[in-house]
Structure formats: C-alpha cells, structure tokens
Structure 1
C-alpha cells in the first residue's frame, strides 16, 4: 500500500471516529478558558454502555486539576447525560473517559484514545497544552509500539506555538539522546545541557527556577547533577536566601549537637532582620533542643520565631506538631494551649490532603473526598488536646468540659491513651476503661493497648473472666462498625485473567483461588511504602495462615522488577513468611486499574473483587483488612 493510500485511509478513519465521537460526546464551549464552566454531554444510545447502567461518571485520565476529584458523577437530563465543572485558573489540557461506577463499561472514542479538551485564552491555545497532550498518551496509548514517536510529535507541535517551551525542548532532545549514537548522541546532550543552563541562568536564585533546572537533569537522565546545581547556587550566590537556607539545612544534619547549638547561637547574632525568614530552621532546631533540655527561657526565646510569618497551608500542621512536642515534654504548656486554641479556631483551614506548590499557582491543596469527616476528626483531636493541656495546667473543670465533648468521637489511639491517663489521674476508673476500650477498638492488634485495658478492668474490681468478656464485646463492636462501612464500598467486579507464578515458578491458577477468600497485595522491591506495609500484613497473615478458607497472594507487579529481583529480595527477607508471587502479565495493572502501589484486593470465594485498598495506612489497616476477611467469610 502506498504512503498516499495509507494517509487517506488514516485520515478517513480519523474523521469517522471524530464524527462518531462527537455524536456521542460533546464538550462545550469549544474553546474553553481557565475559570470558565465546561460542560460534557453524553448520548448513551449507540454507545458501549448499555441502557441498564443507571449511574455514569466522567473519569479524568490526565489533567492538572489538583483540587478536583479524579471522577465526577453525571446527571441525566432529557435523555442525555451531562456534567459541568469550573476549570481551575491554572487549567491546561485534560483527557477523560465515561464509565459506570466499577468501570465495567468504558466509553472512549477508540481503544487507543480518550475524549479531550484544550484550554485557550482569547482564542489562542495557552502554553503547555500540546506538551500535556503528549504526556497524556501514557494513560491513553502507552502500549502502542509507536508510543514514543506519538509523544514526540506532540512535543514538537508545542514548539510550533511556543518555541521556547522548556520541557518540550528537553523531551525532544532526551528522545534524540536515547535513539542516537556516537557524535549525534553527544550533540543532543550538549544541546540539552545548553537549554538547562539557559533556564538556570535566567533566575538562578529563585526556588521555582532551580526546581525546573533539576527537573531538566532528570528528564535527560543525569540525576547525579540534581544535587550539584544546589551546590552551584550556594557557591556562586552565597548571599541569596536559597543559598542560606540550603547551607543551613546541610549544617543541621551534623551529628555533633553541641557543635551545632554553639554555631547557631553565634550565627543568629549576626542575622539582619530582613534575613530572619531564611533562618527559621535554626530557631526551630534550638527551640526543640532547649525544650528537651528543660531550659524554658531559651526555648521561649526561639519559640516565637518558629511560628512567625508563616502563611503557607503547612503552618497548621507545623503548629500542631509544636503543640504535641510541648505537651509530650511538659514544657511551655501555656504557650501550647494558646497555640492549640488558635488552630482549633481556624480548623476549617486545616489541610487534610496533599499540599503542592508551583511558582505559577502558589499552594494547592489536593481534593479530599472525606474532607468534612477528616476536619471533624481534626477538631476532635484538637479539643482532646485542649482538655489534656487544661488538666496539666491545673484546670480540672475545663479539662472535663473539653474531654466530655470528644468522649465518643475521638479516633486517635495516641490521644485516647492520654485522655485515659487524665481520667485515671482524676480517679475516674470507668472513664479510664472506656477510653482504653475505644483505643483497643481502633487498634485491636496492639498488645500494649490490650495490656493497659486488662489492667484497668482488673483495677476496677473486674476478673479475668470480665476481661475476656469485655474483649469479646469490643471485638464485636469494632467489627460491626467496619461491617457497616464495608457495606457501602463493596465492589462487584470479576478478577481478570492472569499469569502469576510462585517463587518456584509454579503457575497460580484460577482453580487455586476458587472457594477461598483471597487477599492480593501488589508490591515491588523499590516501593518503600509497600515494604513498610509488610509488618502489618504479616500480623493479619499470622491470624489466618491456618485457615483453609483464606489465601494470601503477595504479588510482585513486575513493574521495574524482574523475577530475579523479586526472588532475591524474598530470600533476603525471610522474616516475612506469607507466600510471595510474581506477575507475568504486563497488562494486569491496567486490567485492575492500578496506578499506585501498594494496592490490596480482597476476592470472595467466587473470584469477584469485593474490596480495593490503595496505599499504606500502617497500623490502621490491620483491623480494616481483618474486617474485610471476616465480612467475606460471612457471605454465602
């Protein structure tokens, strides 16, 4: 077939897909601007999604909408599904699909593309749209053998509109470096370094620009230069705020505490008022040092600098850490109480999710689906701390007032144990046992909490039989609480076909899973949160390892790992006794819609995915996983 025929066929197919897609999905306005409302309309008739599906969602597969959820529910009006949302002020290109809640039915223009929109200003595409389109291909068509070439085409298209676009230039040159050899490869590298150098020199002491420079080195694969650029700034621009903060940060890592304290005291005497912000970390170091040394006067002298002039969203977490630190050391309790009261008064501003910072946008707080619930818990914890501090300052009545407000709502084991201590000191044995019981329900696998609860029951005149009865009641309560929550999130999705082997390379089959509750945990040797989750997973495994109805599959995803990588790690970590497996299906993560590990699945006895947990929640995950297993064991 000639190139002309191929071009005509491809063009015809593109126009057909575009026409067909527009018939099903419409995005308005055609040239949306940041800050405007965008509306997506979907005609279900003739689509892949059957009429029996009554709930539909738009799923963002690529966007920079950090403050928005990654999926939005659609509403059906006059036979058409639609959803409207305001584009954030920093919006660029976005891509999406439409699906049911479990993504059993997914509507997209083709198997290798998603619906999309570009963002304009005064009728012109803003910078970064085509760059983002190139990046989006990792979600849309990563398995294509021409994936890199397609990306390259979009990066080049970005330069037709914005010839100075930094990332696009580097992405193109990184591709040339990868594909070229000899002098051509060297020339591409030299050009890339020149682009990075130009970017750096445009504003060498600005933090955002330094971050762009380090990103540039990462793009071209020269990771070793990331730290060196910071050293260049520190050396060439020693009087800049960035250099001062960088040098101070390195110095504070010195292990000789006496040397650090002595040096910081001398240094701070020379600091000018306009430079105070650059030395906040020095004051924080000395503040904590003097608190540990029980030196109230010197600690107070540095304390005011640690909470001064910070306007970032991080300050609320930092303030909270200061309060906890002061309370745990029984120092400056008046100051701790005032600061805690200030946080409580502004609890609606407390960040409950990831905080990001970009020079062009400022601070952005990520979307939190459970923000209202998390803020209520933050408020309960602050009230509990206010009660604890009031008691330590001798105001028993105020302490009882604050603690009474959170007696049934507090969900922090650490604070519940502190509250229990307060009630114990007051001589209220019943309240002490109640608080310890609540702590136990949060962490039933924690032997230390169990011991404290047992001691409290016995001190209150109870017997060993009473202890046993109490634990049975509490176990029933925490499981019932979890069961009620699990009913709302239970899934109904088939586990896909798979190619999995154990560490002896024996294949795992569907027959092996049939009739069992199966916990599948996805991990990789390079994934630190995955490894940190293993001790908690081991506790759950120990409980069910002899249960013939429960099976554990600790599955290396093969993402960035070979079988030998996984096998070596397993052989070097014999303390984990659960069964390890290795994935041999490169498409399994896509089939399972997994973008982050660790991710844990719970399958019922019919091989259906019933629960999915993403991330490492540490100790908190143990009762959740245990409840999931028990929940599924009860299902017929």
Structure 2
C-alpha cells in the first residue's frame, strides 16, 4: 500500500512538473531568432532573452514613451550555442524594440525587426503601443534593415489616436505632421482643428505655440506663422522661440562685434548653452582664430560648455596646421587639449546624451580619441618627435584598421624610425586585409629589402598579398549581397532628359546618392571618376549620380557648375523633393538616410548591394566597385 501511494505521489510530481514546463513554454514569445520569457510583458517586468547564435553579438533595446525612444544596452553571454541575457523594462515604457547585431550585421528579422508592444498587468495592450512601434520602425528602422511603409505607419498611429484621444497631446507634432504628409487635405483639417482648440485656451504653453509655428511653416501659411511667432516672443521673451530667433539673427549678421553681442544676449538668458549656444560660441571661436585674434579665440573656445564640441573645435583647427606643417607649436597645444577633453569624458561619462546607450557613447568617445590622436601624431612627427608620434599613432589605430590613409601614416612613422622589421610586418598585414594603399605597398617593399637586401621576391610577395586581400574582399562583399526589389523611378538629368530605371533593365546600374554640400561624397568622387572612366565603353554598366537632399533654389546651376569645375564625367539626375515634406522621392524609396550611399542594381533589375559612407580610400572604393560589378556579371 505504501509502495502504491509513493508511486502515485511520484507520478503526480512528474505530471505537475511536465504541466508547469508546458505552461512555461506556452508563455514564451519567439520572434525570428529571439525568444522572450514572457509573451505579454509589462512595464516593470524582468524578462529573460535568448538569441539563437553562437557568434558574439552586440545588442541594445529601445524603450518607447509616446513618440520618443531611449536606448539601453543588453548584456548577452554565450551558453550552449545561445546568447542569454535579461532586462528590466522601465516603468514608463509602452513598447520595445530589440536591435541585435550578429557577425557584424544587424538581424532585421526579415525586415520586420524585433518590435514588441507592452501590456498592462491584466493582459491588455497598452494604449499607443502600436503607434510607438510603427513610429520607431518608420523613423529608426532603416538604420537596422527594418522596412516600414509610411502610409501603414500613419494608419497605425491614426488608429491609436482615434481610439484614445487622450494620447493626442503627447503625439500632437508627430501625428499632425504625418497626417499632412499622408493626405494634405485631411491633414490641413486636423491642423485647423488644433489651431481652433488653441484659440479657445487661456494658458497656451510655449511648446504649443512652437507646434503651431511648425505646422504653419509646413503648410506654407507665412502670415499665420509670423503672427504666432510674435505672440510667443512676447509671452516668452526668454523661451525657445526667442533663442531660435537669436540664432537666426546670428546667422544673418555679418558684423563680428554684433554677432558677439547676439551670443552674449543668448548666454545671459541661458545657464547652459545647449546646441544653439555651442554652435554660436564655436562660430565665434573659428572666426576670431582666422583673424588671428587669439584673446577672443581663447575667450570663446573656453565658453563652449559641451566638452565634445570643444574638443572637436580644437581638432578641426589643428588638423589643417598638421597637414601644412605650419604653426606646429600652436597646433600641438590645441590637439593635446582635444585629447585631454575626450579623456576626461571617458573617465566621467555621466553627461551621456539620451540617444546613446552607455556602450555606444563609450565607442563614440573612443572613435573621437582615435581621430584626434591621429592629428596629434602627425603634428609630433612634423616636429621631429618620431617616437612620440608612433606612440600616439598606435593609440589612434582602429583594431580593424579600415582607414588606409591613417594606416599609411603609421607605416611612414615606423619607416622614419628605421623600425623596418615592424614596418614590413604591419604593412603586410594591412595589405592582406585590403586596407593598404600604394604608399603602404611601396613602404613594404623598401622595408622588406632593408631586412633582406639580397631578396628577389618582394614583388611576388606583394602580388600574393594583393591576391589574398582580393579573395577576402570578395568573400566579405558577397556576405552583404541583397536580393530586393529595386523601386522604379524616372528622373530628369542635367540636360532635361528623362532617365528611367525600367529602361536600364539587363544592365548593372550603380546609383550614387550625393549632394554638393556633402564632404564625404566629394572626397569619394576622384575614385568614382576612375570607375566611370573604366566602364565608359561597357554598355552593360551604367552609373547614375543622384543629386538628393539638395534644397537650394539655384540647385540645378549649382550642380552643373560643380561638375564642370571639377571636370567630372558624371551622368547626374535630380531627385525630386516631395511636396510638403523634407524627403526626396528616390531617396525615400531606397531608404537613404545618409550620403554618400551607393545602390547597385543587378541585370535582373533587383537591388543587390547597398554601400553607405566613404572609407577614405579611393583605391579601395574602386576595388569594391570592380568586385560588385564582377559578381553581377551574367
């Protein structure tokens, strides 16, 4: 009898244990490679995360509060082929977005991302959570491969605003701006209704006045805009509207003393300068330096209260002197100060901006330090302090060594110090990585022959390094290959002719998105001219230079003059500005958030590659274009 009872008890334990395990599994939420320990998490919950990958990952999550979002790091650790971590959801959150980078590539979960609404403790979805995830996907998603149609996003936001009118005050700006972009007539009705509601209020805040100014600016109602601005200036003489008015006056003013007076008025009214004040202080700093007025230079540079901005100002002034070899003592002082400022921020990172996670901020500071150390090393080298230059250049070197110009300076300093063995070893590694250039190859050969005077195989070794680099580059580029729809378009070129993407099907088409004001675009153009020249007789390759984000009223003349003055043989087309929006037609279709961006479309008419930014090496750029074109050959 005792045996039967014990057996039954054990069976009950097994039964309840299995049932508990089943219930636990039922509560899990799996999206793509991410599993979350709770299907309907709530603000304040601690949740476990499992990401299915053996590779090391970088991850953060953004928690959303209305139309704003705040990123926080996720600490994952690998166990049994999975990455495991946990987070505590902030009490104010209404939704979450998990951003995960594995094998140096963002996991976009088939373009949907990892977006999660939150729930109340009784299982009801939090009001506005769909609006928050849609708005995040639309505004931030393209940075991480997430696709979100603007109309779909607007409908989600509209549904939440209609169902929960009490949310509208927090969403007002974003909602009404999107409504106007989505449908000007309906959007204008909503804006007018909002304006009427403001007229009935006795205690309109400056934020509400600012909203009205933004709306009237968007709808082109200048008289109403001016009227609201005057009221805001009168009611809030030391408010944001007054500050923006001051910066506009500052920008228009040509008399330097009057500019300084405007800045003084701003500084007297604001205990912290903020972005506007630091911009004005920085402008005065640079202008007085150019006029060699060092007393005023020192006065205004010391007033820049954001240490990152002050460090950047010092470095931007020191770099041209470093390149030219002029005023090196002054340059060294400025450059060392920029490094000291960044070091102080690294030691005390409590002033981290809201848009960074802690790790992102640390990485940003490290990147700035590397850049400024590169400047300081060049100054030291030109002062004849070669060993010190090497010390700082080694601090400047990025672990991935992706900047060939910076790499070349490092090898140059080693050669000057007659460290031939080290120079040859470092140069070999850089060339094999594909991060070398002509200077580094020449230095390798010289250093190798210094170490091996009777050697006859230097050229063969270089050829072998180049071959290894080429194979690595091909493999890396293939990893980035896409197979996505290439949205069609028809744009006017500089001669007024229509250029249609549809008509180019069967060819490899390279779209280079650029603008005349874009420094990195311009820096990449000598390399792109090489590509144009190389393929000018190949009727299977077409390059189109899409001028976008260009709003100058003399845009067409400016573009034509720029191309002519620089003697570029580019086929330029003009992207169309979307009426009532800050966006441009083709840039929006291709999710272009920054330039330069190159989109490579295969002969099948589908998008195959998307390359953002410029790596600083035209040699490397030409090689990458060659590889992409070669991969797409039928």
**TM-score using structure 1 length:** 0.57
Tell me the residue number matched to 2:294: 296
User: What is the deviation of 1:268?
Assistant: 4.8
How far is the alpha carbon of 1:364 from its aligned partner? 1.4
Query: What's the counterpart of residue 384 of structure 1?
Result: 374
2:118 matches 1:119: yes
Structure 2 residue 270 is the aligned partner of structure 1 residue 261: no
Asked if residue 153 in structure 1 is aligned to residue 136 in structure 2, the reply is no
Is it true that 1:92 corresponds to 2:87 in the alignment? no
CA RMSD of aligned residues (A): 6.9
Partner of 2:454: none
Alignment check: 8 A CA contact 2:511 2:545 kept: yes
1:488 aligns with 2:483: no
Counting only pairs closer than 5 Å after superposition, residues 564-583 of structure 1 correspond to structure 2 as 577=569
Q: Secondary structure at the match of 1:490?
A: helix
Q: How far 1:593 sits from its partner (Å)?
A: 7.9
Counterpart of 2:334 in structure 1 is 336
Deviation at 1:118, TM superposition (A): 2.1
Q: Partner of 1:14 in structure 2?
A: none
CA deviation after TM superposition for structure 1 residue 159, in Å: 1.6
Matches within 5 A, 1:231-630: 232=230, 235-236=233-234, 239-240=237-238, 242=240, 245-254=243-252, 256=254, 259-261=255-257, 264=260, 268=264, 277=273, 283-306=281-304, 309-310=305-306, 314=309, 316-318=311-313, 320-321=315-316, 323-324=318-319, 330=327, 332-333=330-331, 335-343=333-341, 345-346=343-344, 348=346, 363-365=354-356, 378-390=368-380, 398-399=388-389, 401-403=391-393, 481=469, 483-491=471-479, 493-494=482-483, 503=498, 507-508=502-503, 512-513=506-507, 518-521=508-511, 523=513, 535=525, 538-546=528-536, 548=538, 551-554=541-544, 577=569, 594=591, 596=593, 599-602=597-600, 611-613=609-611, 615-617=612-614, 619-620=616-617, 623-630=620-627
Offset of residue 551 of structure 1 = 1.6
Distance 1:531 1:72, change over 3 A: farther
Between stretches 278-287 and 600-609, larger displacement belongs to: 600-609
Asked if structure 2 preserves the Cα contact closer than 8 Å seen for 1:200 and 1:213, the reply is no
Select the residue among 38, 41, 60 that pairs with 1:29: 38
* Equivalent position of 2:21 in the other structure: none
Counterpart Cα distance in 1 of 2:468 and 2:391? 30
Contact 1:93/1:129, CA 8 A, preserved across alignment: yes
CA shift, 1:156, in A, is 0.8
Where structure 2 has 5 or more consecutive residues not aligned to the other structure, the ranges are 1-25, 139-145, 451-456, 492-497, 576-584
Give the distance between the partners of 1:532 and 1:214, measured in 2 at CA: 35
TM-aligned CA distance change 1:388 to 1:166, over 3 Å: same
- Checking the alignment, whether the CA contact within 8 Å between 1:99 and 1:106 is kept in structure 2 is no
TM (normalized to structure 2)? 0.57
In 2, Cα distance between equivalents of 1:271 and 1:337: 27
Q: Cα gap change, 1:239/1:534 in structure 2, threshold over 3 Å: closer, same or farther? A: same
Instruction: Tell me the distance in 1 between the aligned counterparts of 2:464 and 2:619.
Output: 16
Shift of residue 527, structure 1, vs aligned partner: 11
Residue 326 and residue 580 in structure 1: after superposition, are their counterparts in 2 closer, same or farther (change >3 A)? closer
SS in 2 for 1:364: coil
